[in-house]
A and B are shown apart, each in its own frame.
Chain A
Amino acid sequence: MEPSPSPLDGGAEGVDLPPDSLGAEDFAPFNGGAGDNVANDAQLMRQAWINECLAPEILMYKEDIVDRTRTEIARQEKIVEDYEQDHANALTRMIRLAEVNRIKFSLRSYLRKRLSKIEAYAIHFFANDELSSRLSPQEHEFAKEYIQNMNDLFQESILKKMPRDYDSLLHQSQAMESEVPDMIPEPHLDKHVFVKVTDDLGDIRIDRENTIRLAQGDIFAIRYNLIKEFVDTGRVELI
Chain B
Amino acid sequence: MATDFARTATNLLKELKTHLEANDLGGSLGSVGGGSGYSGGDGGVLGGLLRDPGQALPQFKEEEVRRCLQEVAEHYESLVSILDAFRDQGVAWEGRPEVASSVLIHHQALLRNKRLLMAYQNMRLERVKAFRWKCGRLPRSTQEKLSSPEKDFVKRYEKMLAKYQKQAGVDLTVGFYPPSENMLKVRVVEDLGTMEFDYIGEADLQVGTVHLLPHEDAERLIIEGKLEHLAN
Residues of A within 8 A of B199 (CB): 80-81, 84, 97
* Chain B residue with Cβ nearest A66: B168
Please pick, from B33, B110, B152, the residue contacting A109 in the complex, using a CB distance under 8 A.
B33
* Chain B residue with Cβ nearest A115: B32
Residues of A within 8 A of B129 (CB): 119
A142-B164 contact in complex given A105-B175, A105-B179, C-beta closer than 8 Å? yes
Q: How far is the CA of A154 from the CA of B121 in the complex (A)?
A: 7
Are the C-beta atoms of A157 and B150 separated by less than 8 Å?
yes
Query: Which range contains the number of B residues in contact with the other chain?
Result: 35 or more
Question: Of residues A141, A163, A172, which shows the largest number of chain B Cβ atoms within 10 Å of its Cβ?
Answer: A163
Residues of B within 8 A of A154 (CB): 118, 121
Query: Which range contains the number of A residues in contact with the other chain?
Result: 35 or more
The answer to whether A206 has its CB under 8 Å from any CB of chain B is: no
Are the C-beta atoms of A101 and B198 separated by less than 8 Å?
no
Please pick, from B148, B157, B169, the residue contacting A149 in the complex, using a CB distance under 8 A.
B157
- Over the window 135-162 of chain A, the binary record of Cβ atoms lying under 8 Å from chain B Cβ atoms (1 yes, 0 no) is 0001101100110011011101110011
The answer to whether B211 has its CB under 8 Å from any CB of chain A is: no
Question: Of residues B115, B148, B215, which shows the largest number of chain A Cβ atoms within 10 Å of its Cβ?
Answer: B215
Are the C-beta atoms of B149 and A157 separated by less than 8 Å?
yes
The answer to whether A201 has its CB under 8 Å from any CB of chain B is: no
Please pick, from B125, B149, B156, B182, the residue contacting A145 in the complex, using a CB distance under 8 A.
B156
Are the C-beta atoms of B147 and A101 separated by less than 8 Å?
no
Please pick, from A139, A145, A162, the residue contacting B114 in the complex, using a CB distance under 8 A.
A162
The answer to whether A34 has its CB under 8 Å from any CB of chain B is: no
Nearest CB on A from B223, distance (A)? 14
Nearest CB on B from A176, distance (A)? 6
Q: How far is the CA of A94 from the CA of B65 in the complex (A)?
A: 56
Are the C-beta atoms of B160 and A146 separated by less than 8 Å?
yes
The answer to whether B216 has its CB under 8 Å from any CB of chain A is: yes
Please pick, from B34, B69, B182, the residue contacting A94 in the complex, using a CB distance under 8 A.
B182
Are the C-beta atoms of B170 and A111 separated by less than 8 Å?
yes
A145-B179 contact in complex given A80-B199, A138-B167, A157-B147, C-beta closer than 8 Å? no
Residues of B within 8 A of A109 (CB): 33-34, 175
The answer to whether A75 has its CB under 8 Å from any CB of chain B is: no
* Chain B residue with Cβ nearest A172: B111
Nearest CB on A from B142, distance (A)? 17
Are the C-beta atoms of A70 and B170 separated by less than 8 Å?
yes
Are the C-beta atoms of A77 and B198 separated by less than 8 Å?
yes
Residues of B within 8 A of A108 (CB): 170-172, 174-175
* Chain B residue with Cβ nearest A173: B111
The answer to whether B73 has its CB under 8 Å from any CB of chain A is: yes
Q: How far is the CA of A154 from the CA of B125 in the complex (A)?
A: 10
The answer to whether A107 has its CB under 8 Å from any CB of chain B is: yes
Q: How far is the CA of A34 from the CA of B153 in the complex (A)?
A: 50
Residues of A within 8 A of B157 (CB): 146, 149
Are the C-beta atoms of B111 and A166 separated by less than 8 Å?
yes
A111-B168 contact in complex given A102-B178, A119-B32, C-beta closer than 8 Å? yes
Please pick, from A111, A116, A141, A158, the residue contacting B31 in the complex, using a CB distance under 8 A.
A116
Residues of B within 8 A of A101 (CB): 175, 179, 182, 215-216
Are the C-beta atoms of A112 and B32 separated by less than 8 Å?
yes
Are the C-beta atoms of B160 and A113 separated by less than 8 Å?
no
Nearest CB on A from B130, distance (A)? 10
A102-B179 contact in complex given A70-B170, A77-B198, A157-B150, C-beta closer than 8 Å? yes
* Chain B residue with Cβ nearest A149: B156
The answer to whether A104 has its CB under 8 Å from any CB of chain B is: yes
Residues of B within 8 A of A172 (CB): 111, 114-115
The answer to whether A12 has its CB under 8 Å from any CB of chain B is: no
A162-B69 contact in complex given A70-B169, A98-B182, A112-B172, C-beta closer than 8 Å? yes
15 contacts between A and B (CB under 8 A): A101-B215, A105-B179, A107-B170, A108-B171, A109-B34, A111-B168, A111-B172, A112-B33, A116-B33, A116-B34, A149-B160, A158-B114, A161-B72, A162-B114, A166-B110
Chain B interface residues toward A at CB < 8 A: 30-34, 65, 69, 72-73, 76, 107, 110-111, 114-115, 117-118, 121, 125, 129, 147-150, 152-153, 156-157, 160, 163-164, 167-172, 174-175, 177-179, 181-182, 198-199, 215-216
